[in-house]
Chain A
Amino acid sequence: MKVDEATVRHIARLARIKVSDDQAKALEGELTGILQWVEQLEEVDTDGVEPMTSVVERRMKMRADVVTDGGYPEDIIKNAPEHADTFFVVPKVVE
């Protein structure tokens, strides 16, 4: 798979990472190289093989559906870049 500049820009947009023109150019080559290298997996016959979902085969643990934590909003916003009282502040998203 050859990754072109438009594809780099598309996935950078999906990943919410701004890329400069220079970076997009460099990433074209780098991502193409990595993807072509991983494509050697095509050699492996995986017909009828289940994809792994967990390395340790165990049933998901269940717990009672009760509140066991919380009640410290000051801690939650302590590392926020911007907050008002105990709310996170973001740019306006609704007109």
Chain B
Amino acid sequence: MGSLTDLTIAAARDGLAAKEFSARDIAEAHLGAIDAGNNALNAYILPTPDIALTMADACDARIAKGEAGSLEGVPLGIKDLFCTKDVRTTAGSHILDHFTPTYESTITQNLWDAGAVLLGKLNCDEFAMGSSNETSCHGPVVSPWRREGSNAPLVPGGSSGGSAAAVAARLCLGATATDTGGSIRQPAAFTGTVGVKPTYGRCSRWGIVAFASSLDQAGPMTRSVRDAAIMLGVMASHDPKDTTSVDMPVPDYEAALGNSIKGLTVGIPQEYRMDGMPDEVEALWQQGIAWLKDAGVEIRDVSLPHTKYALPAYYIVAPAEASSNLARYDGVRYGLRVKGDDITAQYENTRSDGFGAEVKRRVLIGTYVLSAGYYDAYYLKAQKVRTLIKRDFEQVFEGVDVLLTPTTPTPAFAIGEKSGDPIEMYLNDIFTVTVNMAGLPGISVPAGVSNEGTPLGLQLIGKAFDEETLFRVGQVLEDAAGTLPGPADWWSVGT
């Protein structure tokens, strides 16, 4: 049954409909793969085999009755940032060690309503703050990928590192993820998977542990563009419980895939050509341009002059919002409590023991930039720069349909290689963070292999609420790249 873990979501759906195998078969195949491989990868922090089999049996019953939903029987991993009813949800933080939600996030509820099966909760950076999945209280996720000729463990990227590793290592058919500054697209690029950050407001944020509310957006990670289109179609919805969720119909993203891209104009932002960017990343970008030209698009150089300011502005806005959002972890209503002499000491002890170093750093930065006397100089300035970043995109999108860029400035790095210097780690998100600052949709598509034999991704950035064009163009990149090598299985016990 090993091959059932190699299926795409689209193939699983078709095979289930044709009764070639059952939802239980697929669930069992994945639970076996998790049993064999998760110790080495640390992608799942809480596998839920009993729930998976119960859900799969219910899927088989619905399929037998001809009542299959659009994701019926598809086993998924869920990033531990999504609250799941009666299933522990930690956000990768010690402060939520024992938090078991009494409610279900809107997105996961949408997935279960469509027939998807929960395999378990996936590791992530603590409160989604990180670019390497090294800040999780559950320990780092190890990428299934290795450099050629080396056994050094690589990072899967972050913060959705567990999602990326599980999808790449075939421990699920697809996974949910979240993206505040690149946390879906950067790990997708590092692991050779497809990751979509939808337009802000396209997916409900209700029931997702908040990091930076004006930037957070959930999306899928999958092994094909089609699978991402299928999954996003289910995840996206208008939700009255999230006032920023938009009241717009969800298009049939999968139906958009077949459409020709001939006649589209693709912008190449010159500011994304960074000093010191490796030649292989530049070469991949040029390859992507050539592929799209072959498909009949017009290529146009464009300028987004405020690009270099997106990351520093982000590191004011995101920590500011995080410091407000994380004020709720007070040891009173839920989560860890560490007693003190009085209630202030209790707050301080709880948050000191409960938060890890990176989270503390960001809460302190956020507190500082919002504090009396500094608000205008930092927060207000950053929000003005954000307006300029958004304006750059608006002006460019008057002349082009979509932008093509590399997803990351480098391929995956080794665990421990960049954890010493926060700013060096932050620079990983230099090509992705602009998209969050402007609220736009972005997709990372695996497009090539680095000199080290590890994956590289290309990013497409679209107009607000035009995910369809991202899927159409993404499909062309995926087809042009052809079959890329997958990671060799070193992680499963007994292989």
Contacts and interface: CB of A to CB of B under 8 A. Distances in A.
Interface string A58-79: 1011010000000010011111
Contact of B385 (A44, A79, A81): A44
B352 A11 contact: no
Given A44-B306, A46-B385, A17 B332 contact: no
Nearest to A42: B381
Nearest to A81: B337
A38 B316 contact: yes
Given A3-B368, A58-B246, A51 B312 contact: no
Interface string B177-214: 00000000000000000000001110000000000001
A75 B102 contact: yes
A31 B365 contact: yes
A80 B334 contact: yes
Given A17-B360, A41-B313, A90-B343, A50 B387 contact: yes
Top 8 A-B residue pairs of the complex, sorted by shortest distance between their CB atoms:
A55-B439, A51-B383, A81-B337, A79-B334, A18-B352, A46-B384, A18-B348, A75-B102
A56 B244 contact: yes
A40 B331 CA distance: 37
Contacts of B247: 61
Best-surrounded residue of A12, A31, A81 (most CB of chain B within 10 A): A81
B387 A51 contact: yes
Contacts of A52: 383-384, 386-387, 390
Contacts of B386: 51-52
B332 A15 contact: no
Contacts of B240: 61, 63
Contacts of A46: 381, 384-385, 388
Contacts of B371: 11, 14
A55 B348 contact: no
Contacts of B437: 55
Contact of B422 (A11, A30, A91): A30
Interface in B375-426: 378, 380-388, 390, 422-423
A34 B378 contact: no
A91 B346 contact: yes
Interface in B321-349: 323, 330-337, 339-340, 342-349
Given A38-B312, A63-B240, A82 B214 contact: no
A15 B323 contact: yes
B303 interface: no
Interface in B349-375: 349, 351-352, 355, 360-361, 363-365, 367-368, 371
A41 B382 contact: yes
